[in-house]
Structure 1
Amino acid sequence: MSQDSIYSGLTQLGQSTRIPATPEDAVLERVPNPQADVLYAVRFTAPEFTSLCPMTGQPDFAHLVIDYAPGDWLVESKSLKLFLTSFRNHGAFHEDCTVTIARRLVDLLAPKWLRIGGYWYPRGGIPIDVFYQTGPVPDGLWLPDQGVPSYRGRG
């Protein structure tokens, strides 16, 4: 498969693209995985993820780490960045944001395996970390620790 045909259906990469108003409006795009026969992990880290508290409208901040073992598809990274950015004006609890991101990716990619760690900064003095994965880690998949320490505050 030529590189041109792999990328020919993409609508955002290489284009001036507006930030989607909501996560529902965001278009996640995928490309065929030229290494689909190999078990490997892909990691995306979003250390400055933001959303809004649905009750107060105050901003919430998280450090997200998304790991997945691709099957036939790879997520196109610009579309992922735009999708994540679309949460900036979206009101939802930490759990909903984190699991929504994971489920959208699973629905789009049908990966061999996926996990997300949502390391949220304190709200009301309590940090809330949210973890989701599709099942056990596949045998033979090298998977480093997500590397995000538990919140310690000033202590």
Structure 2
Amino acid sequence: MTDIHKDLKQLGTATPLPASPDDAVLERVANPQAGTPYCVRFTAPEFTSLCPMTGQPDFAHLVIDYVPGQWLVESKSLKLYLGAFRNHGAFHEDCTVSIGRRLVELLAPEWLRIGGYWYPRGGIPIDVFYQTGPAPQTVWVPDQGVPTYRGRG
């Protein structure tokens, strides 16, 4: 491990899935390219949570884009954090916005957006979008590439 990895507790060790998002530990590492504007994308096409009313599973395709400042999110900790929603009851809007806000709090990025593309429940898909402001003009930020839900049409 290099110096930027010395404070990580989860990477390289067997780490159980946290019982809840509140119990999850998100970790960060220093950005070795700080001062260079670029975009980082994480895609979680099999995100799951529970409906807080029925306990039934909800499924989403999440796309997280951010322009880092001094910090990068450590990807294993992000995977464990997202997995912690598996047994967590919350509405689509709450899950999506909470993830975005927690990452902003941890990383203080130059910019962040998250798209939560939720699969239909009760016949209606719900897509939820959160971002911290306008996308930076100096960074290429590609379209998230997730089409609007069209069913079998």
Into which bin does the TM-score normalised by the smaller protein fall? Answer: over 0.9
1:98-145 CA distances to partner (integer Å, 9 max, x unpaired)? 000000000000000000000000010000000000001112110111
Q: Which runs of 5+ in 1 are unaligned?
A: none
User: How far apart, CA to CA, are the structure 2 residues paired with 1:12 and 1:100?
Assistant: 22
State the match for 1:145 in structure 2.
143
- The Cα of 1:4 is off from its aligned counterpart by 1.6
SS at match of 1:55: coil
- 2:26 corresponding residue in structure 1: 28
Q: Secondary structure at the match of 1:107?
A: helix
1:109 corresponds to = 107
In structure 1, C-alpha distance between the alignment counterparts of 2:149 and 2:76, rounded to whole Å? 29
Cα distance between partner residues in 2 of 1:144 and 1:69: 12
Q: SS of 2:21's equivalent?
A: coil
Structure 1 length normalisation: TM-score? 0.98
Aligned to 1:88: 86
- Pick one of 23, 36, 39 that aligns with 2:37: 39
Deviation at 1:154, TM superposition (A): 1.4
Q: Is the partner of 1:102 in helix, strand or coil?
A: helix
User: Aligned pair 1:127/2:97, yes or no?
Assistant: no
SS at match of 1:51: strand
Count of aligned positions: 153
Q: Tell me by how many angstroms 1:65 deviates.
A: 0.1
Residue aligning to 1:71: 69
Moved over 4 A (4+): none
Cα offsets for 1:16-60 (capped at 9, x unmatched):
000000000000000000101100000000000000000000000
Partner AA of 1:113 in structure 2? W
Q: Which residue of 2 aligns with 1:99?
A: 97
- Alignment partner of 2:41: what SS? strand
* Percent identity of paired positions between Structure 1 and Structure 2: 78
1:11 to 6, 9, 12: 9
Aligned AA (1:98): T
Q: Could you list the runs of 5+ residues in structure 2 that have no partner in the other structure?
A: none
> Distance between the aligned counterparts of 1:23 and 1:142, measured in 2?
31
